[in-house]
Chains A and B, each alone.
Chain A
Amino acid sequence: MDRIKNKYNLIDHTADFGLRVFGSDSKELFANAALALFDLITDIDHLKGLDSCNIEVSGDDWSDLMVNWLREILYLWNGKELLVKKVRILSLSETELAATAKFDPFNPDRHIIKTEIKAVTYHQIQVNSSPSGWEAMIIFDI
């Protein structure tokens, strides 16, 4: 797989921080969005992915599902101090997602925190598909 840095770019804005994420299909898009989030937070190449957990989320539509998914995955960091290395989307529909995430517990001596992402917002949230692939725009509160 290509490095995650090729799968997203940053959107600049006065008071926020945004991502435009790409994927060849919906599963790849959702996986890339989560990895892009953690790539902003830390250097994911330096993580090992020692432990894993299961995540299930639901939403009213693709956009709502994306926000809820990223909220859930961000809680691993903000609430539990876990840094996510990898995600595998097990099943995905417009309203349901099941995944496993591999992570390392945060160790201040080993891990660098690049950016503090405080929340995932609904602002300008977009999830679109086209014949050439899937794309999402997500804005974070930092």
Chain B
Amino acid sequence: MEIKKIDKYRWELPKTGNMRVPGIIYATESMLNAEKQKEPLKQVANVATLPGILKASLAMPDMHWGYGFPIGGVAAFDWESGIISPGGVGYDINCGVRLATTSLVEKEVRPKLENLVNALFRGIPSGLGSKGSIKLSIPEEKKVLQMGSKWAVNRGLGEALDLEHTEDGGCMPNADPDVISQRALERGRQQLGTLGSGNHFLEIGVVEAVYDIPAAQAFGLFEDQVTLMLHTGSRGLGYQICDDFLAFMTKHVKKLGFDLPDRQLACARIQSKEGMRYYNAMACAANYAWTNRQILMHNSREILLRVLGISPRDLNMKLLYDVCHNIAKKEVHVIHGKKQTVCVHRKGATRSFPAGHEALCDQYRPVGQPVIIPGDMGTASYVLAGTEKAMQETFGSTCHGAGRVLSRKAAKKASKGRAIQRELEDKGILVRWTGRSTLAEEIPEAYKDISQVVEVVHEAGISKKVAKLRPIGVVKG
């Protein structure tokens, strides 16, 4: 596959075959040349063949192989003539991250860290099939799906400000619970307020470095500050919705006469009954995921208060921001000098809106949207801010994390005979986990170097570095 260098951090996959637009990949030369990148590059080209795609099929530096669309992929489709695809969003709809700040510094937490991590591990249901503290009736669950985070806030599980500090206010208003299956409802009913398994986690971190003082101040971040980060999504409900619609759209797409290079790219016209059904079903899962993270943050806060034995005022926990990684959204972007309504698919990518954007709350409008980039459990995470360049180049998008480089099997092999927990403890990181092989599969080497990924998006200008966090306590599913 021919690749042309645009500049140090951008590469063009020229239009060939059925591609309607070129591909553009954000990466360093060595990232691009890694053996593992051949398949995702093909996937970037496959996405470029879909009807209504605008400007370019994009990939962020954490790009890796996904089903149909690559993970780290961004693609925008014309709202009138384009398509929407469950494969462009992913199974875990609105998988995302939220970061909360506190008024504490590391030395105030360190002596009680072990108790704290143990209490979080006991108190936050994690692992596969874990069930939440909240059991929902189907009518109540439908309210969650329609209202999103506000449902939790109305029940005292958060504050009004939390909604302002959540992408889209924690609610996509188009959600329609009547278009999702009984199976999806049934799976969702049991799992609200659970972390799940795999790469999902809860992390106590410390701000290690501040790069942009005005932005850090606006975000309420300072050096040595203790933070709480949550990474989870829409659990079984999102999976079921994705699976149901993939099955449905695989059949539907044949009627449209599209020649798909991969079955997992199954899609529907946005402006069709089928396309809208998916869009409205996906919004249900998005709202569920926001509610889930809202509840988990509230429950974690209660545990922190209890274990540390301090008042809410002394802890002063505030939601910095909550971002989605897997989503399709109606947004307005300027394309070739003209405003256009589009459906942006971000699959393993984060919105990165600039200063001044109307979607941002007053507190963040002067500096840009907070972008939270989690790393693996042994290294670091970053807080970035959105930029104007992202609006110009990437439909207001940036990277989402590190991206796997080792398969789970290879990671297990690499960790054989090693005491991973001990290795992390030696670095000052306490970790608790549920799954039998979670720790081995999630070793730091299984992921790309997060700092390199962040360097690319920073240097390319599609978001800017604000602060770096390092983990001190991790709970994994």
Chain A residues engaging chain B, CB cutoff 8 angstroms: 10, 12-17, 60, 64, 67-68, 71, 75, 78-79, 81, 106, 112-116, 118-123, 125, 141-142
A68 to B198, CA, bound (A): 24
Of the listed residues A17, A68, A115, the one surrounded by the most CB atoms of chain B closer than 10 A to its CB is: A115
3 A-B pairs closest in CB distance: A122-B263, A116-B128, A12-B409
Residues from chain B with Cβ under 8 Å of A78 in the complex:
129, 187, 236, 239-240
Complex contact A122–B250 (CB within 8 A): yes
Residues from chain B with Cβ under 8 Å of A106 in the complex:
129
A17 to B412, CA, bound (A): 13
Residues from chain B with Cβ under 8 Å of A17 in the complex:
408-409
Q: Interface majority SS on A: helix, strand, loop or mixed? A: loop
A125 to B250, CA, bound (A): 13
Complex contact A113–B404 (CB within 8 A): no
> Nearest chain A CB to B433's CB is how many angstroms away?
13
Given contacts A121-B264, A123-B264, A142-B408, 8 further A-B contacts (CB under 8 A): A13-B65, A16-B407, A17-B408, A79-B186, A106-B129, A118-B239, A119-B243, A122-B250
Closest-by-CB residue of B relative to A115 is B437
Complex contact B242–A14 (CB within 8 A): no
Partner of A14, one of B197, B239, B407, B437: B407
Chain B residues engaging chain A, CB cutoff 8 angstroms: 36, 64-68, 71, 91, 128-129, 183, 186-187, 197-198, 236, 239-240, 242-243, 246-247, 250-251, 262-264, 266, 404-410, 435-437
Partner of B239, one of A64, A81, A113, A119: A119
Closest-by-CB residue of B relative to A106 is B129
Closest-by-CB residue of B relative to A113 is B128
> Nearest chain A CB to B73's CB is how many angstroms away?
13
Complex contact B242–A81 (CB within 8 A): no
A-B contacts, 18 listed (Cβ < 8 Å): A12-B407, A12-B410, A13-B407, A14-B406, A15-B71, A60-B251, A67-B247, A75-B183, A79-B187, A106-B129, A115-B437, A116-B198, A118-B91, A121-B67, A121-B264, A123-B263, A123-B264, A141-B67
A14 to B446, CA, bound (A): 9
Residues from chain B with Cβ under 8 Å of A118 in the complex:
91, 198, 239
Complex contact A79–B236 (CB within 8 A): yes
Q: Provided the pairs A12-B410, A13-B407, A71-B247 are in contact, do residues A119 and B242 lie with their beta carbons within 8 angstroms?
A: yes
Complex contact B240–A14 (CB within 8 A): no
Complex contact A113–B183 (CB within 8 A): no
Partner of B36, one of A14, A67, A79: A14
Q: Provided the pairs A122-B246, A123-B264 are in contact, do residues A112 and B198 lie with their beta carbons within 8 angstroms?
A: no
A16 to B39, CA, bound (A): 13
Complex contact A125–B263 (CB within 8 A): yes
A113 to B127, CA, bound (A): 10
Residues from chain B with Cβ under 8 Å of A67 in the complex:
247
